[in-house]
Amino acid sequence: MEVTIKTPSRIHLGIMDLNGNLGRIYGSIGLALEEPSTVITAKHSDELEILGNEKERVSRIVEKFSDHFGIKPRVIINVSESIPDHVGLGSGTQLSLAVSYALAELHSINISVRELATTMGRGILSGIGAEAFRKGGFIIDGGHETDRIEGLPPIIFRYHFPRNWSILIVSSGAGRGLSGGEELRAIEGIIPSSPEIAANICRIVQMKLLPSLILKDIDKFGQSLKEIDENVGICFSKIQGGLYREEFSQKLVDFLTEEGASGAGQSSWGPSVYALIEDKLAKRLEEETRKFLIENDKTGTVLRTHANNEGAKITTIDTHELVSL
């Protein structure tokens, strides 16, 4: 058997509650994206061989999986495409789930994506990445009990994102975001944050963000995202020195909204910035943003993509069937 997996990436659009005085904490908002993606192929072999991108990370994932399930992996794993790491697009969770899911398939281990994520130590703070892999779409999780941070948080909302809404992912080419233990320590350093900010974010989500998504009102949805992003940025400012990870990001967000984006903000800890815009206006904004980066002596990238509403695409070579998660 040969297993090929193409994962989504994701943008993390905010945390609803960094206070926790209601008995639950965190609560993430996110969106699965078609691109960039991680693509791996795995098949049986006489010995373990790791090819392509991310060799060290893949090796650690294989070791963790093998130790947990008591197997000796005799497989070839080739990572032909990979999501850029430490830029706020969820590369670690997608790579971990792709490799471990492929290993589970090859060794006939029956395990769900959510169980696999917990086993591999993913989703400690947020369930967005695992759900993006499992089903895609626009996702909100319900956070954790304040005194028991374990397992994946429950998914409380998932919705197919409009196909005629484009997302620009812009990197200015500088800095890196937080992840792993570094991220956990940073979050612990800002808890408890203001209950008023948490209440405001939750109100925006319930009374503005979700209704505008259901009604496909891109302008009100984008405004909601920007307002949530700014509130979360106030909480994060103690760690990142301002609303955004990079000083240039504020200038970039302002440019994107002035040039027609319905909303813009920082994904997770950045430095990637996203912009939401109607398809018919997206090409012009993409071109103007590239010019803007050059004018500001930035060597970054601009990627135009759409939401992924299906999750990871998994194909086995012996059946050529798309696996449903």
Domains in the chain: ranges and CATH: 2-316 (3.30.230.120)
- pTM given for the model: 0.93
Task: Provide the pLDDT confidence category of residue 176 given band limits of 50, 70 and 90.
Answer: low
Mean pLDDT across the stretch 271-282?
Answer: 96
Q: What is the Cα–Cα distance from 137 to 98, expressed in whole angstroms? A: 18
Say yes or no to pLDDT of 187 above 80. Answer: no
Tokens coding 66? 């093998």
Q: Is the pLDDT of residue 39 over 70?
A: yes
Best CA proximity match to 212, nearest among 203, 204, 221, 201? 221
**pLDDT for 163-172, tens place per residue?**
999 999 999 8
The whole-angstrom separation of Cα 30 and Cα 28 is: 7
Q: Determine the pLDDT at residue 297.
A: 93
| pLDDT at residue 318 tops 90 | no
Pairing of strands 75-81, 49-52: parallel
- Which of the two residues, 247 and 59, has the higher pLDDT score? 59
The shares of helix, strand and coil residues in the chain, as percent rounded to the nearest 5, are 40, 25, 35
